[in-house]
Structure 1
Amino acid sequence: MERFPEYKGREFYITGESYAGHYVPQLAHAILRHASPAINLKGIMIGNAVINDWTDSKGMYDFFWTHALISDETAAGINKNCNFTAAGAGAAPSALCYDASDEASESLRDIDIYNIYAPNCQSEKLVTPPIAPSIDNFDPCTDYYVEAYLNRPDVQKAMHANVTRLDHPWSACSDVLTRWVDSAKTVLPIIRELMKNNIRVWVYSGDTDGRVPVTSSRLSVNQLQLPVAAKWRPWFSSTKGAGEVGGYIVQYKGDLSLVTVRGAGHEVPSYQPRQALVLVQNFLTGKALPDCKECEQD
């Protein structure tokens, strides 16, 4: 604020996806407690968000079964042997639960869990993207381009990275994550406090993501037990003509909205950029997502 006084008092919003379901509300909470009113925080928006451990896990396996990715037997084994609420409270899963979870993982081995209908990358050795990529067509090999790029010595030098010369390449994920135990198991109390302080909260979910699917988001939001302010309805990516269904929205009292994005995976803008733009624009302006009642006639 001291360096850029022209921004003082401007509305401030925070957005993010996936594990940002934790650190976006946590950052907003810190601002609310320690930097308000200097920072004029107005809202947060989190997508396919990790919010509440046990509902996230249960919703994931529910999604697998309802989308025909796992067998009835595997689903029954999970429902019988996995106590999600106990695991969410810190209890270790049983051996039978692990076995059933392993069966589910095996069933999804050849599926992109971040978009269950997306094609797989056919060549993991690709290191450069197409000459003329299109924002309308998601490239399933993107992760491999990034990994190859960030492992280039000249790139690491420019970023002042890997100065200790590690004996293994950089990768987006590693076993370190499975040994990390400091993550909060839920941010629902924080979301409640944000709402009590009139902070707008939008939880959006690409409906083809299997990692933190829409079923998880719905179960997590339902834990808040909020009264419905505006019932479930479709929203549209355009108000021109008949419009295109962009997804669905339900609004709750306290200024929380749950929004689905039709045909989008874990990273919504990567798969459905048009719907993502409409989503962000309406979130920032505080307007309702387009309803077909507002559609213009050709």
Structure 2
Amino acid sequence: MAFILMVPLTIIFLSVLSVSHVSGTRHGHFPTTKMNSISGDDLVTNLPGQPNIDFRHYAGHITVNENNGRALFYWFYEALTLPDDKPLVLWLNGGPGCSSVGYGATQELGPFIVDGHSSELKFNPYSWNREANMLFLESPVGVGYSYSNTSSDYSKLGDDFAANDAYAFLQKWFLKFPSYRTRILYIAGESYAGRYVPDLADLIQNKNKDSSVHINLRGILLGNPETSNADDWQGILDYAWSHAIVSEETHKAIKKSCDFYSSEPWNDDCAQAADEVYRQYKEIDMYSLYTSVCTSNTAGSEYKSNQVMIRGTSNMMPRIMGGYDPCLDDYAKAYYNRPDVQKALHVSDGHQIKNWSICNMDVFNNWLWSESKESVLPTYKDLILPDLRYGGDTDGRLPVLSTRYSLNSLGLPITRAWRPWYHQKQVAGWVQEYKGLTFATFRGAGHAVPLFKPSESLAFFAAFINDESPP
């Protein structure tokens, strides 16, 4: 499920934009926007398999700590048209420990999607860079191509560490791209970015009290966000029962033995009941209840440790529902470990190859994650921003129920009642507006909403940054 958290910004849903592949353009034909001489070093010019485009994109490392040699990898795409007139959006994927390049940029909402059949890239007609300049960051160090030369840094990873490094990244990135220094900025993300995004937004607002480092933050967007341990767990278990994943007996055991809002939420009976929920989810994709799982032997989706590989007697690939390909993780892993790709992205010389993975499992399994808040709801209350939360309603990992419970905990007054919103004359989901926040669902979408509902998510995103409500 995906949710959007929206601060004082109203959301609008635009009817589907008429989009077509960019064709007839030459590789070297770019907009007339001035290219900064510093950022020019990071210009990507020979990305293998790239389709013809008419916009610039840049990739490289920003050093966030000189003493420790700590550097974060970014990939920045200018807007498809009129980049000087459009806002900047920083996108963060969660985990913690998963790559915004492997997920957000090349599976969901970036202009290039990794095509597993041709081992090249295909143009995404619903890329969010139709509406904004898109900046994807691999954070924290240890994720994707981001690294530190000081091994002790990896023992300090946590929510605050990630927020401070992301803030340092923005400050130094603006030195490379000074024309964006005063540009309107939105911070967006999904899953564990439900913690990354508000922490970073709160840090920016506090730092903005010093006018010399002011960042023009306008709002935040969150898809399927992890928010509060108690609300998230309650939502996961209730959702599994309401969608027939577990038995009535298991749900009764959960209701009897689990009190996630107490000071001691876990006991043996509660843990046993929760284990049963995850045992049942091993048979399907918890992140997308009604689609097939990947049957590839290379299984790049290793981070989804709660699912098993289902192998039948047929050699045929599983039926792909709604355009969703469950093996996208595999394709990304193969592409980003290519020497020519790493050279084009300024990651390696093409000979000494970096080992790229879509998720750092040591971070994802919390072995290298030393600090995580029980809840970021207090941080949300401090933010003075338009806030949008959205959720796909077929995600079992961070279901819409979890978001609903967290919204109940916030206790915000409702300004517009629950109602359907539409896309191309069809109900795309439901939406409710609160004071300073909008919550929307996407009908039939899994955990990564733009992957399942690309046209709908683009239209909804466009409405949000134009301060409009969906119809």
| Structure-2-length-normalised TM-score | 0.53
- Written as runs of structure 1 = structure 2, the 5 A alignment for 1:201-220 is 201-220=387-406
| 1:72 counterpart = 2:241 | no
**Which structure 2 residues correspond to residues 62-211 of structure 1 after superposition, within 5 A?**
62-86=238-262, 89=263, 91=264, 93-125=266-298, 137-150=323-336, 159=347, 170=357, 172=359, 174=361, 176=363, 177-179=365-367, 180-194=369-383, 197=384, 199-211=385-397
Report what 1:131 is aligned to. Answer: none
What CA distance in whole angstroms lies between the structure 2 residues aligned with 1:282 and 1:234? Answer: 15
Question: In the superposition, relative to structure 1, how do residues 210 and 135 fare at CA in structure 2: closer, same or farther (>3 Å)?
Answer: closer
Q: Which has the higher contact order (CA 8 A, sep 6+)?
A: 2
- Structure 1 residues 213 and 39: CA distance shift in structure 2, 3 A: same
**What is the deviation of 1:221?**
1.0
Counterparts of 2:423 and 2:236, CA distance in 1 = 27
| Percent identity of equivalent pairs | 40
Q: Which residue of 2 aligns with 1:257?
A: 438
Give the aligned partner of residue 228 of structure 2: 52
**Residue deviations 1:114-139 (CA, integer Å, cap 9, x gap):** 11011111323378xxxxxx996110
Q: Which is further off, 255-264 or 27-36?
A: 27-36
CA distance in 1, matches of 2:451, 2:249: 34
Structure 1 ranges of 4+ moved more than 6 A: 153-158, 163-166
Q: Report the alpha carbon displacement of residue 248 of structure 1 after superposing the two structures with TM.
A: 0.6
Gaps of 5+ in 1: 128-133, 291-298
User: Structure 1 length normalisation: TM-score?
Assistant: 0.81
Contact 2:337–2:354 (8 Å) recurs in 1: no
Match 1:281 to one of 462, 466, 470: 462
Alignment check: 8 A CA contact 1:124 1:144 kept: no
Distance apart, 1:35 and its partner CA: 2.9
Equivalenced residue count is 270
Shift of 1:184: 1.0
Q: RMSD value over aligned CA atoms?
A: 2.8
Compare the two structures and name the one with the higher helix fraction. Answer: 1
Change (3 A) 1:152 1:4: closer
CA contact (8 A) 1:136 1:273 kept: no
For structure 2, the 5+ residue unaligned runs are 1-173, 301-319
CA distance in 2, matches of 1:63, 1:263: 15
Residue 288 of structure 2 aligns to which amino acid in structure 1? N
Counterpart of 2:431 in 1: which secondary structure?
strand
State whether residues 253 and 273 of structure 2, in contact with CA within 8 Å, keep that contact through their aligned partners in structure 1. yes
C-alpha separation in 2, matches of 1:121 and 1:4: 40
Q: CA deviation at 1:204?
A: 0.6
Counterpart of 1:221 in structure 2: which amino acid?
Answer: L
Change (3 A) 1:284 1:100: same
Per-residue deviation, residues 230-284 of structure 1 (Å, max 9, x unmatched): 000000113xxxx01111110012x200111111110000001011101110111
CA gap 1:246/1:62 in 2 versus in 1, 3 angstroms? same
Cα distance in structure 1, aligned partners of 2:261 and 2:361: 27
